């Protein structure tokens, strides 16, 4: 008798939970922020970007709909974006000064605050899978360089020849960046004076940031998700910045800067000029404003992206999702590739500033 009673209660609970929670699943993605305007984009390019964003949204959402976890959904959506040459992650990643592709990725599980990251990997086809392996299969949070590549191989992840990541467009971007760098180097004095005239204290900063910002397009990809169990997760993957050197690592693999997730507050993935995002501890700061100051998601995300970062001179944006399924996608640049799944299961993709949430 007791058993039958338990069974009935269990059936009732699991049934209502299932019905309720599938309504609450959420998935949001970004494909980088920057100077992305209608003027700079052909109709064909726009269509191509939207198609990949849409595919990533649909595939990630399917995982959630089938009862998968938010970590699984984030992985699935990010892998679609990593496999596309259009975005600066996985295939299509930008080049370092030495003409290599060094990839960074991270993941965080809001359920237990576990996290994993890799930086500077060169042979892992989908760096997000390596970040997840670090989280799930190692006692560490971050592995870098050759060691991280070796770990990924040992874990049986898909390994490719570094030439897999080559795309002509990104290589040309490197050559262009190098050209401006040589101007910067040999102009030193002339440009320094120019910059000083423009009111720049050091005389260096302006030309430096021009080189780093690759025409101010940050093609990093990211995803935040809420699964039917009420768990949040966030992930980010990038090639970093064109012409980076000395093993430079940006915010994307830094937990608390480019990625953060906590069931009690929110999940965040960032894109933008990483040095600023690290110094502003962007992703954790948004979570902390909710946790300690009681701000709602929208206000917390706006505070960091539209006030703190702007005051510091940091360009970019974030996607953020809270445990109730509220979405926020502020950016202080011209545009940001982004998208989410609506209540009715339809995907919405957006690129420009004037596109509002539908
Ligand atoms: N945040 C990345 C970095 O600094 C760049 C990007 O968002 O595209 O490495």
Give the CATH number for residue 37: 3.60.20.30
In a domain, 72, yes or no: yes
Task: Check residues 15 and 134 and name the one with the higher pLDDT.
Answer: 134
Provide residues with CB under 6 Å of ligand 1. 32, 88, 218-220, 238, 240-241, 250-252, 258, 271-272, 274
Residues 6+ apart with CB under 8 A from 173: 94, 95, 214, 215, 242
User: What is the best residue among 33, 95, 252 to mutate for testing ligand 1's pocket, by most ligand atoms within 8 Å of CB?
Assistant: 252
Ligand 1 center–CA 78 separation, angstroms: 15
Ligand 1 center–CA 9 separation, angstroms: 49
Ligand 1 center–CA 2 separation, angstroms: 58
User: What is the best residue among 219, 220, 237, 283 to mutate for testing ligand 1's pocket, by most ligand atoms within 8 Å of CB?
Assistant: 220
In a domain, 185, yes or no: no
In a domain, 7, yes or no: no
Residue 305: pLDDT band by 50, 70, 90 thresholds?
A: very high
Answer yes or no: 220 catalytic.
yes
Least confident of 21-35, 65-79, 263-277: 21-35
Element housing 36 (H / E):
none
257-284: burial string, b at 16+ Cβ within 10 Å, e else: bbbbbbbebbbbbbbbbbbbbbebbbbb
The atom number, within ligand 1, closest to the CA of 219 reads 8
Ligand 1 center–CA 104 separation, angstroms: 9
Residue 23: pLDDT band by 50, 70, 90 thresholds?
A: confident
In a domain, 147, yes or no: no
Instruction: Using a pLDDT cut of 70, give the percent of the chain over it.
Output: 83
In a domain, 195, yes or no: no
* pLDDT digit string, tens, across residues 75-107: 999 999 999 999 999 999 999 999 999 999 999
In a domain, 3, yes or no: no
- Whether the pLDDT of residue 12 is over 70: the answer is no
In Å, what is the CA distance from 54 to each residue of 90, 340, 350? 18, 9, 10
pLDDT score for 343: 83
Determine the length of the chain: 358
Stated pTM of the model: 0.87
In a domain, 63, yes or no: yes
In a domain, 161, yes or no: no
Whole-angstrom distance, CA of residue 169 vs CA of residue 112: 40
- The active-site residue, picked from 96, 122, 129, 220, is 220
Alpha helices in the chain (DSSP H): 2-24, 43-65, 70-83, 127-137, 145-154, 168-197, 205-212, 274-279, 282-293, 297-302, 309-312
Q: End-to-end CA distance of the chain: give it in Å, rounded.
A: 51
* pLDDT digit string, tens, across residues 214-249: 455 778 999 999 999 999 999 999 999 999 999 999
List the domain range (segments joined by +) for residue 305. Answer: 24-88+212-234+242-247+254-352
* pLDDT digit string, tens, across residues 117-129: 999 999 999 999 9
| Contact by Cβ (8 Å): 243, 99 | no
- Whether the pLDDT of residue 187 is over 90: the answer is no
CB-CB neighbours of 20 under 10 Å: 10
| Contact by Cβ (8 Å): 107, 71 | yes
Residues 5-18, mean pLDDT to the nearest whole number: 48
Domain count, the chain: 1
Whole-angstrom distance, CA of residue 358 vs CA of residue 355: 9
Residue 180: pLDDT band by 50, 70, 90 thresholds?
A: confident
* Residues facing residue 115 across a β-bridge: 108
């Amino acid at each position: 008798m007791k058993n039958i009673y338990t069974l009935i209660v269990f059936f009732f609970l699991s049934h209502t939970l299932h019905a309720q929670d599938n309504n609450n699943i959420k998935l949001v993605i970004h494909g980088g922020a920057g100077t992305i305007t209608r003027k700079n984009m052909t109709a064909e390019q726009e269509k191509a970007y939207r198609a990949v964003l849409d595919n990533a949204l649909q595939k990630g959402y399917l995982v959630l709909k089938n009862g998968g976890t938010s970590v699984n959904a984030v992985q699935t959506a990010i892998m679609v974006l990593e496999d596309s040459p259009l975005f600066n992650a996985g295939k299509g990643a930008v080049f370092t000064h030495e003409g290599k592709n060094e990839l960074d990725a991270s993941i965080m599980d809001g359920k237990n605050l576990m996290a994993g990251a890799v930086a500077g990997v060169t042979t892992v086809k989908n760096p997000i899978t390596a970040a997840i392996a670090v989280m799930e299969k190692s006692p560490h949070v971050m592995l870098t360089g050759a060691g991280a590549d070796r770990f990924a191989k040992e874990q049986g992840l898909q390994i490719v020849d570094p030439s897999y990541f080559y795309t002509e467009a990104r290589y040309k971007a490197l050559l262009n960046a190098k050209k401006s760098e040589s101007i910067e180097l040999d102009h030193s004095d002339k440009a320094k004076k120019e910059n000083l005239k423009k009111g720049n204290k050091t005389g260096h900063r302006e030309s430096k940031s021009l080189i780093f910002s690759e025409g101010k397009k940050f093609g990093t990809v990211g995803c935040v998700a809420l699964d039917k169990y009420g768990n949040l997760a966030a992930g980010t993957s990038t090639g970093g910045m064109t012409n980076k050197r000395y093993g430079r690592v940006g915010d994307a693999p830094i937990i608390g800067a480019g990625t953060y997730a906590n069931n009690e507050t929110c999940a965040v993935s960032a894109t933008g000029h990483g040095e600023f995002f690290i110094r502003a501890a962007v992703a954790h700061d948004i979570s902390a404003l909710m946790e300690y100051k009681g701000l709602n998601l929208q206000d917390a995300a706006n505070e960091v992206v539209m006030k703190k970062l702007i005051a510091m001179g940091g360009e970019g944006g974030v996607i953020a999702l809270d445990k109730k399924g509220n979405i926020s996608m502020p950016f202080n640049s011209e545009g940001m590739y982004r998208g989410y799944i609506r209540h009715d299961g339809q995907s919405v993709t957006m690129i420009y500033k004037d596109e509002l949430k539908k």
